[in-house]
Amino acid sequence: MMTARKNLLLFAVLLAALAAACTLAVLCGAVRVPLREMADSSIARLRAARVLLAAVTGAALSTSGVIFQAILRNPLAEPYVLGISSGAGLGEACAIVFGLHAVGAWTVPGMAFAGALGTILVVYALARTAAGGVPAQTLLLSGAIVHAVLGSLLMFLVSVAPSEDLHNVVWWLLGNLQVLDWQLLRVVALVVVVGLAMAFLLARDLNLLALGEEPAAHLGLHVERTMQVFFLLASLVTGATVAACGLIGFVGLIVPHTVRLMIGPDHRRLVPAAALSGAAFLVLADTFARTVMAPLEIPIGVITAMLGGPFFLFLLKRRTFAFRS
């Protein structure tokens, strides 16, 4: 009973924090909108859409970070460590540079999503052993190699792109939460909500995977099949958000570790807590990015990298990570 009350209080506090962050984000901006005009203001509606995308993206990246850290048992793993970002970035850059956006509004995000999905399949195929298993460390190494190769191809494409396309590609690579297509936002939100619900329902399996493959198997878990499910789930959720707003790094590293230090490693609490915290974190980070130098806007990826870089080094220096329930 006491644990249930603590969980209820925890999630109530996190929901209140997210609501406060969203309210602040809608109210703040380069252009001041009086409170009495908020309901009818087009600027307020644009901010609200941006806040929604930031919340969805933050929740998705944070939850993906939790999943990757559990299945790979690597405390420094995050959604971009397996090359998903580079694959999505290469797909979207190709669409922009080769003018495929003229075919339709969905072409660019569609290419990004296809790049992410293709990367998932390549990494998994490279990591799969002759016996049919997929060792976590091999998966991590394969992801790092694919990430490096695709990143190099992406930089080559940017270097030879026409100047008018170069600006669009670079801006997208730095992260952009501006909503240009409400239909895309609805689809991404639906994918993320379904993904987060599945992660929450399967959180007990994450606890078992965090113990290691052999202990999890002894406890009755089908390790390979479960890893496939989580790997695909986290990758698709990440790919969907990358398709909508570009590359935003380190959210999947900063938020999961911070939340884990506060509430412990039990994924039944960690998954929803990380989702809510990640949503609030990215909403506040984006608010800072578009107001601190207004009317100029700092790309959100720059803000998260400035926070995430030192945080990564701090974690690497301490080497104190708790994963077991």
Q: What is the pLDDT of residues 286-309, one digit of tens each?
A: 999 999 887 888 889 889 988 887
Q: Give the pLDDT band of residue 21 (cuts 50, 70, 90).
A: very high
Name the E strands within the chain.
none
Per the domain annotation, does 325 fall within a domain? no
In order of 111, 164, 172, the CA distances from 60 in angstroms are 20, 31, 18
Question: How many Å apart are CA 203 and CA 122, to the nearest integer?
Answer: 26
Question: How many Å apart are CA 165 and CA 173, to the nearest integer?
Answer: 12
pTM here is: 0.86
Please report, for the domain that includes residue 34, its CATH number: 1.10.3470.10
For residue 146 the two structure tokens come to 């694919």
Per the domain annotation, does 232 fall within a domain? yes
- The answer on pLDDT for 71 being more than 50 is yes
Question: How many Å apart are CA 257 and CA 308, to the nearest integer?
Answer: 11
Per the domain annotation, does 218 fall within a domain? yes
78/168: higher pLDDT? 78
- In whole numbers, what is the pLDDT of the chain averaged over residues? 83
For 237-282, the pLDDT digits (tens) are 888 888 788 888 889 989 998 899 888 889 999 999 999 999 999 9
73 backbone dihedrals φ, ψ, rounded to 5°: 50, 40
CB 113 within 8 A of CB 88: yes
For residue 230 the two structure tokens come to 């989580």
Question: How many Å apart are CA 18 and CA 276, to the nearest integer?
Answer: 7
Which residue in 250, 247, 252, 209 sits closest to 229, CA to CA?
209
Question: How many Å apart are CA 151 and CA 155, to the nearest integer?
Answer: 6
- The answer on pLDDT for 36 being more than 80 is no
Per the domain annotation, does 118 fall within a domain? yes
For residue 214, give every residue at least 6 positions away whose Cβ sits within 8 Å of its Cβ, in sequence order, or none: none
95/197: higher pLDDT? 197
For 76-93, the pLDDT digits (tens) are 777 777 788 788 888 878
Alpha helices in the chain (DSSP H): 2-27, 42-72, 84-97, 107-127, 136-160, 163-173, 182-201, 203-211, 213-218, 223-245, 251-263, 267-291, 300-318
- The answer on pLDDT for 214 being more than 90 is no
Per the domain annotation, does 324 fall within a domain? no
Cα angle value 231/54/46 (rounded, 5°): 145
Q: Give the pLDDT band of residue 61 (cuts 50, 70, 90).
A: very high
DSSP 66-124: HHHHHHHT-TT--TTTTSHHHHHHHHHHHHHHTTGGGT-TTHHHHHHHHHHHHHHHHHH
Per the domain annotation, does 13 fall within a domain? yes
CB 78 within 8 A of CB 249: yes
> How many structural domains is the chain composed of?
1
Q: Give the pLDDT band of residue 325 (cuts 50, 70, 90).
A: very low
Over residues 217-227, the mean pLDDT reads 85
Per the domain annotation, does 93 fall within a domain? yes
Per the domain annotation, does 231 fall within a domain? yes
Range of the domain at 90: 2-318
Give the position of tokens 């944070």. 62
For residue 169 the two structure tokens come to 């590609």
- The answer on pLDDT for 2 being more than 60 is no
Burial of 166 (0-12, 13-18, 19+ CB in 10 A): middle
What's the start-to-end Cα distance of the chain, in Å? 19
